[in-house]
Amino acid sequence: MIAWRYHLLSRSPVAMLIIIGIASIIANTGWRVVMNNFAVDTVGMTGANVGILQSVREIPGLLAFTVMFLLMALSEQRVAILSLCILGIGVAITGYLPTVYGFYFTTVFMSLGFHYLEAVHRSLSTQVLEAETFGESMGQINAASAFFGLATFIGIILAVQIFDVSAKVIFLGCGVICTLLSIYLLSFHKYDDSRVKQINKIILRKEYSTYYFLTFLGGARRQIFVAFAGLLMVQKFDYSITMMATLFMLSSLATTITLPAIGEFIDRIGEKRALLLEYAALAILFLSYAYVSNHYVAGVLYVLDSILFSFTLALATYFKKTIKPDEISATSSISFTINHIAAVFLPFLLGIVWMSGSEIVFIIGAVIAMISFFVAMSIKEDRGTVKQDIYQRDI
């Protein structure tokens, strides 16, 4: 924690990455903690409605490649700040439109900011951080985000228990904080977006196919967790807003503690072994979701799922070592779109499946995890490092 606090005091590019992560996690935490309760209790949504909501939420992700057009006029730094501001505003106004279509609208609006931000943030991170310590550095940055996510969870719990605040107030507060932090980032000096001039066009290469496929499958895995793990807690185990906030808080605390160590672990064993470990454990976890009957055990599974998410850093290090330095921005945006292909149609389809039995959704998740495992087997462990060394010499 000391490492990221030191960076936070500066106005360096790394400090900007940390603040972007903090602002984003506050807005997304506020939205995630109350969205299922808001959807079920206030808006009156069914599992199918929530599936549609999660699908429309991912449409901006599918169109993330269009960020390339913005980058023709604005720097990546400015696009990131603008996207962060849109995210904050979208979350802030959510509680003011408590209808099905109103929830759809605000979700798409905030999602536009979130997904453009993620596409650019991934590119900025890859360019700013060193390859040799990329996993460790990303672990520190993500740990800072997780810490403030934890603080947000605590704040929501206290606000609900002491002041009995509504979901509307939680949406507003978290969204406003995110928006104010995005405005603060405007005071940072503009820095050189990249050590290598980026190609601002759509790029698809056969040699990146393993990365593309794992990215696609990762999007499918993420949707099952984001859209249905929380819904399982609310519908099957009757979790309240306070219980959901506590669950998210424990998940964030576990992530904060484990992320730096996981980053170092990935640097030590390599991304291939780390990904294989993640996918094997994920298959077991999804099968456990399918048949869990105790709400405490379900909560433990959710926390373990959050920790496993940290191993996606391995895919980021694989990206760092594999992609040509001048294709980072272009490949990042197109891979982000690939990540969201499944995210657009999968929640809707699984929302329908959910009506027949929630366990089927998680069994499908286990199958996706095993497919990811076999795809990751094709990764050549020394390929990325060798390629990166060659590119560095060319620079």
Q: What is the CATH number of the domain that holds 249?
A: 1.20.1250.20
Q: Per the domain annotation, does 194 fall within a domain? A: no
Q: Per the domain annotation, does 222 fall within a domain? A: yes
Provide the pLDDT for residue 392.
31
Provide the pLDDT for residue 132.
63
Buried/exposed code over 279-292 (b: 16+ C-beta within 10 A; e: otherwise) = bebbbebbbbbbeb
Q: Per the domain annotation, does 193 fall within a domain? A: no
Mean pLDDT for back-to-back runs of 10 residues, the chain (395 residues): 54 81 93 86 82 81 77 84 96 94 94 88 72 68 81 87 91 96 87 56 73 86 82 86 81 81 85 92 94 91 89 81 72 74 77 87 93 90 42 28
Provide the pLDDT for residue 104.
94
Sign of CA dihedral 162, 167, 168, 174: positive
Burial class (CB in 10 A: 0-12, 13-18, 19+), 186: exposed
In the chain, how many domains are there? 1
Q: Per the domain annotation, does 196 fall within a domain? A: no
**CA 54, 85, 11 angle in degrees (round to 5)?**
125
Provide the pLDDT for residue 255.
80
Neighbours of 356 (CB within 10 A): 9
Q: What is the DSSP track for 52-90?
A: HHHHHHTHHHHTGGGHHHHHTTS-HHHHHHHHHHHHHHH
Provide the pLDDT for residue 135.
65
Provide the pLDDT for residue 376.
92
Q: Per the domain annotation, does 195 fall within a domain? A: no
d(CA 16, CA 18): 5
Q: Per the domain annotation, does 326 fall within a domain? A: yes
Q: Per the domain annotation, does 59 fall within a domain? A: yes
CA 203, 315, 375, 364: dihedral to nearest 10 degrees? -110
Q: Answer for the pair 284, 334: CB distance below 8 angstroms, yes or no.
A: no
Neighbours of 168 (CB within 10 A): 17
Q: Per the domain annotation, does 197 fall within a domain? A: no
Range of the domain at 228: 2-188+202-394
